[in-house]
Structure 1
Amino acid sequence: MLAKAPVPGRVKTRLTPGCTPAQAAELAEAALADTLRTLGRVPAGRRLLVLDGAPGRWLPPGWEVLPQRGGGLDLRLTAAFAAAERGGGPALLVGMDTPQLTARMLAEPLSPAARVGTDAWYGPAADGGFWALGLARPTAELARRLLHGVPMSTAHTGAELLRRLNEAGLAVTVLPTLTDVDTVADAAEVAAQAPDTRFAERWNALRTGVAASGVGAAG
C-alpha cells in the first residue's frame, strides 16, 4: 500500500476549502484505516506500507513500514514494486483513496485459481486514473517500463498505464472501477456507497459543517 500520513495541510488538499485542513486529514486517516483493515482481510504473505511520513495509531499490527522515496509518483510507485520484488511472489499495490474497497472485490481475482495465466491486475478509477496495480512477477525493471513517464493525476493516466500493460504483452485482469476520494463530491459519493466504513462515519460527522461552507455535500 502506498500512502501519506494524515497530516493537516499535506493530505487531501483538494477537499479544501469545503473542509478545513484538519477535517481533510481526519477523512484521510479514516480512509487509510479502512483500506488497511480491508487489505488485512485479504490473504497475503507480506503486508507492506510504503509511507510518506510517520505511522500513527491508525496502523494495525502485521504491517511492515518502509519510507517512500523522493521524486514523482511514477518513481515512488516503481520503488514500491522494487521493495515488493524482494519478497517474491505476486504483488498488488493499492492507494489510500478508495475506502469503499472490500475484501470480496479482491478475493476472487487474486485467488490461486484466478491467478493462473494472469500477469497483471489493473484497477481503474472513475476519474481516469487507477487505484490498484498488480504484477504476478514484479521486478523493478518491469515496473520502470510500465510506470516511468506516465503522466499522473490526469484523465488519461489509467488509459496510458493500460496501454503499456498491453504493449508489454501482459495478460491483464481488470478489477472493478472505483471512485477516488479527491473532492468533497467524491467524499459524499463514497460515503454513501460504503455507509459502514470509518470514512462514512467521519464524513457524516463532518458534513453539517461542510454543507454550511456552501460547497456541495449532497449524496
Structure 2
Amino acid sequence: MRETVYIFLKAPVAGRVKTRLGAVVGMGRAAALFRIMTDWTIAEAQKGSWETVLAVDPPAAAHKRARFWPPRFRRVAQGPGDLGARMARIFRTAPPGPVVIIGADAPGLRARHLREAFKRLRGADAVFGPAADGGFWLIGLARRRAAPDLFDSVRWSSEHTLADTLKTLPESFDVRMLETLRDVDEAADLETAMFRGRR
C-alpha cells in the first residue's frame, strides 16, 4: 500500500485566497505570497518516495493542464462542503494506504516532517502537525481503522480547531504529534513564519 500526500490548494487568485492577509497587505500581494508558499510546499513534498497529489479548488482547476501548478502531479477536486467535509472525502476515496493531508500556508514545513509523519503512522492511527494558532498544518491517518465522526462540529479557523478535531477521533485511536509550526493567516505571521529560515 502506497503512502500518499495530498496538498490542499486554492487557485492563487486575488480576492479568493488569504483574504485576511489581503485585507492588510492587499489582495494581489496576498495571492502572490500564497503562490510562493505553494511552490515551496510542492518542492518539499516531492522529496520523498510517497505519491504527491494536488487536491485543488475550484473543481475546474483539476482539469486545467498547468495554469497554476506543475502538470506532472495528479490532481483531484476538493469538492463541496467545508474543510472537514473536503478532507474527509479525500480520506474516504484515496487509494489504500496511509494518507497525509497538508496545506500550503506553513512555510516551515520540510520533507523531513512528511517522512516523520509516515514513520509514526506505521505504529499509530493518526498524526497531527499542530499550528501555533490552535489549528493544524498536517493531519495523517493510517486508515487501518475507521473514524466515522471525523471532523464533526469542528470550529474551523479558530484556536479550538485541533482540540475539536481530536475529539472526533475514536477514543481508542493512538494519536501522535509532530512539532508545532506557524502558518500564515495574518500580516503579523509573515516575518515569524514565512521568511525565517528562508533567507
Q: Which TM-score bucket, shorter chain as reference?
A: 0.7 to 0.9
Extract structure 1 runs of 4+ deviating beyond 6 A.
none
Q: 1:129-140 to 2 correspondence within 5 Å?
A: 129-137=135-143
Question: Could you tell me the TM-score, scaled by structure 2's length?
Answer: 0.85
Deviations 1:116-162 (A, max 9, x none): 321111111100011111011178x62x5111321211111101112
8 A Cα contact 1:68 1:76, kept in partner: yes
5+ residue gaps, structure 2, are 1-6
Q: Which has the higher strand share?
A: 2
* 2:190 paired with 1:187: yes
Q: Normalized against structure 1, the TM-score is what?
A: 0.78
Q: How does 1:29-108 map to 2 (within 5 A)?
A: 29-44=35-50, 46-53=51-58, 54=61, 56=66, 58-84=68-94, 87-108=95-116
CA separation of 1:20 and 1:38: change in aligned 2, threshold 3 A: same
Q: Which amino acid letter does the alignment assign opposite residue 170 of structure 1? A: F
The CA distance in 2 between the partners of 1:80 and 1:116, in whole Å, is: 20
Q: Whole-Å Cα distance in 2 between the matches of residues 184 and 43 of structure 1?
A: 35
Percentage of matched positions with identical amino acids: 37
CA distance in 2, matches of 1:58, 1:115: 31
- d(CA) in 2 for partners of 1:72, 1:138: 25
Structure having the larger proportion of residues in helix: 1
Query: Does residue 163 of the first structure (1) align with residue 167 of the second (2)?
Result: yes
Q: How many residues are aligned here?
A: 188
Contact 2:108 2:193 in 1 (8 A): yes
**Rg: which structure is higher?**
1
**Is there any run of 5+ residues in structure 1 with no aligned partner, and where?**
197-219
Q: 1:130 to 1:115 in 2, by over 3 A?
A: closer
What SS does the corresponding residue of 2:168 show, helix, strand or coil?
helix
TM-aligned CA deviation for residue 61 of structure 1: 4.6
What residue is the counterpart of 2:3 in the other structure?
none
Counterpart of 1:170 in 2: which secondary structure?
coil
Name the Cα RMSD after superposition: 2.0
